[in-house]
Amino acid sequence: MWQSAFMQGELCRLYPSCEVEILAMSTRGDEMLDVSLAKVGGKGLFVKELEAALADGRADIAVHSAKDVPMDLPEGFCLAAIGSREDPRDAFVSFRHASLDTLPRGALVGTSSLRREAQLREQHPGLAFGALRGNLDTRLSKLDRGDYDAIVLAVAGLKRLGLGSRVRTVLEPEVSLPAAGQGALAIECRAERADLVELLAALNDPATAACVRAERAVSRALGGSCQLPLGAYAQLEGAEIPEIRLRGLVAAPDGSRIVRAEARGPVQEPERTGEQLAQALLAGGADTILSSIQ
């Protein structure tokens, strides 16, 4: 709802005569909280109902967390804009402990992400991990009542809801490489709506869009899903002629093996850079991990 209200405000700011209404909806991803996403269809559960509303005309646009949007959209749909990115990193949240390094052996860490869990298991093999689902209030309340010693969440979500003070430590990409699209908002509409595509272009942030497109290309090339612990994070580097620096990893779910790689390429060809990184990951052994998971 925050995401939708934010984009509503941006549209009204850009087009004062435009009337923008929010159609509140609940998705299966919001409702099925007693089982991991990897077991019930993945992140696509957060967007299918919204796409149905676009298809039957109940809604004109849908606002998503970019990391929740499947890599291949259904025919007839497009991402018309990707907004400027909030902090894409992961956050360590705990009352009793200042950082991952101060957690005692056997401490229980809550996370909903196989990507986060695999990376943290590699670096902290003495920790225990438990599934954590629900909205931010639900996850934080489980921490506060003592169900977990610490939890790991996206910095972006905490900041957007005014909960940035709950972040004890920000996990740098070297510790926990973000998911493709993390921290960015994506606006989806029907591809045939040229009028909307033109209007929404003003909300597109070219730098963020290039980075997210590169990240999504990595995941697409590797068949990325919730079942695959995969991270992809792009940044623009260089002042005069910026280029994309793209880092990626594929991990065994238990963190026993993680393959990492990096690629660089021109801003104008983000998908190509993403595909090059995917090939580098496969060449480094990610194919073995993929085969074992599939």
Residues annotated as part of the active site: 68
Name, in order, each residue with C-beta under 8 angstroms of 66's C-beta and a sequence gap of 6 or more: 82, 180, 181, 182, 183, 184, 185, 186, 212, 216
Nearest to 249 by CA among 266, 263, 235, 236: 263
> 3-state SS string over 67-85?
HHCCCCCCCCEEEEEECCC
The neighbour count for residue 140, using CB atoms within 10 Å, is 18
207 burial (CB, 10 Å; 0-12 / 13-18 / 19+) is middle
Q: For residues 199 and 170, what is the distance between their CA atoms, to the nearest angstrom?
A: 36
The neighbour count for residue 135, using CB atoms within 10 Å, is 13
Nearest to 180 by CA among 111, 85, 256, 272: 85
